[in-house]
Amino acid sequence: MIVGILLVGILILAAVLAPILAPSPPELMEPANRLQAPSAAHPFGTDNFGRDLFSRVLYGARLAIVLCVATVLVSVLPGLSGGLIAGYRREQTDQVLSRIIDIWLAFPGLLLAIVLVARLGPSLSTTIIALGIVGVPSFYRLARGSTLSAGEMLYVEAARSIGASDTRILWRHILPNIVSPLIVLITLRLGTVLLAAGGLSFIGLGAQPPQPEWGALLAAGRDYMDTAWWLALFPGLAITLTVIGFNLLGDGLRDILAPDVRRGRGTP
C-alpha cells in the first residue's frame, strides 16, 4: 500500500506542480528542436513538432486525474442510487433493475465504450461519458448486495418500527455501512478507467490532439519507435506506474476497510 500511496502522490504532485516543473508550455512548438533525444534541456526529449515531452506528460497528469474522477462520478451516482433502491425495495423494483443490469453486462465493456464514443464523437468528454456508463453495473451490484445484507440488520428493523422514512433509513442507516467497500471499488476502478481511456485514445477514439493525454501521446509515438523511442516510452511508463499505484492503493484499502471482501465472504 505504501508504494501505491507513493505513486498516486507523485501523480497528484505532477498535476499540481505542472506549471512550475514544466520547462515550457505543453503546446509550444519549436520545429528546430523536433525529435530531440532526452537531455538536460528536455528530460523526456521532444516530439515531432518540437514540443517538450516532459511538459506534455506533466500536464497529461492533470487530464488523467480529471478523466478518472469524472468517469467514476458518472458511474457512482446512478449505480449507487439504483443499487440502494433495488436492494431496499426488492420484489418488482429489484427484478426490473436487475434485469436491465443483466442486459447491460451482456455487452463487453470496452466494446460498448468504443460504440458509444464512435457514436458521440471522439473527445475527452465523450470518453468520460462512455466509460462512466460502462462502469455503472459494478457500483449497482455492490450497492444492491450490501443493501440486501444491511436491510436484514436489527438496527434497520428498529428504524422501521419507530416510523423512520425510507429515505432516512437508506441515507442514515444503510449507506454508511457500504462506504468502506465503495471506497475500495472506487480506488480500483480508477486504474481500470485510466487504462481503458488510454486504449481508446491509442486507437483514435479518446482525447484528441493537441491535448497531452497519455494514451494519445503513446499513439503519436508508435510511428517513431525505431527513431524516437522516448515518444512512446515515457507516456507508457506514466500510464503503467499510475495504474499500478491505483491498484496497490485499492488492494491496501481493501485489506483495511473491507477484509471480508478480500477473503471472499463479503459482497463481491
Residue 26 within a domain: no
Residue 136, all three cell numbers: 455503472
pLDDT tens, residue by residue, 180-235: 888 889 998 999 999 999 999 988 888 888 889 999 999 989 888 888 999 999 99
Residue 131 within a domain: yes
- Please give the span between the terminal C-alpha atoms of the chain, in angstroms, as a whole number: 21
What's the confidence (pLDDT) of residue 258?
Answer: 59
pLDDT reading at 262 higher than 60? no
Domains identified in the chain, total number: 1
Residue 46 within a domain: no
pLDDT reading at 5 higher than 60? yes
Residue 172 within a domain: yes
Residue owning grid cell 497529461: 60
In 3-state terms, what secondary structure has residue 203? coil
Q: What is the CATH number of the domain that holds 222?
A: 1.10.3720.10
Q: Is the pTM of this model over 0.75?
A: yes
Average pLDDT of the chain is 87
Residue 42 within a domain: no
Residue 37 within a domain: no
C-alpha angle 175-177-183 in degrees, rounded to nearest 5: 85
Q: What Cα–Cα distance (Å) separates residue 216 from each residue in 15, 57, 76, 247, 252? A: 17, 11, 26, 22, 30
Residue 45 within a domain: no
Residue 89 within a domain: yes
pLDDT tens, residue by residue, 139-190: 999 988 888 877 777 777 777 778 777 777 777 778 887 888 888 899 989 9
Q: Which domain holds residue 116?
A: 2-17+52-262
pLDDT tens, residue by residue, 47-57: 999 999 999 99
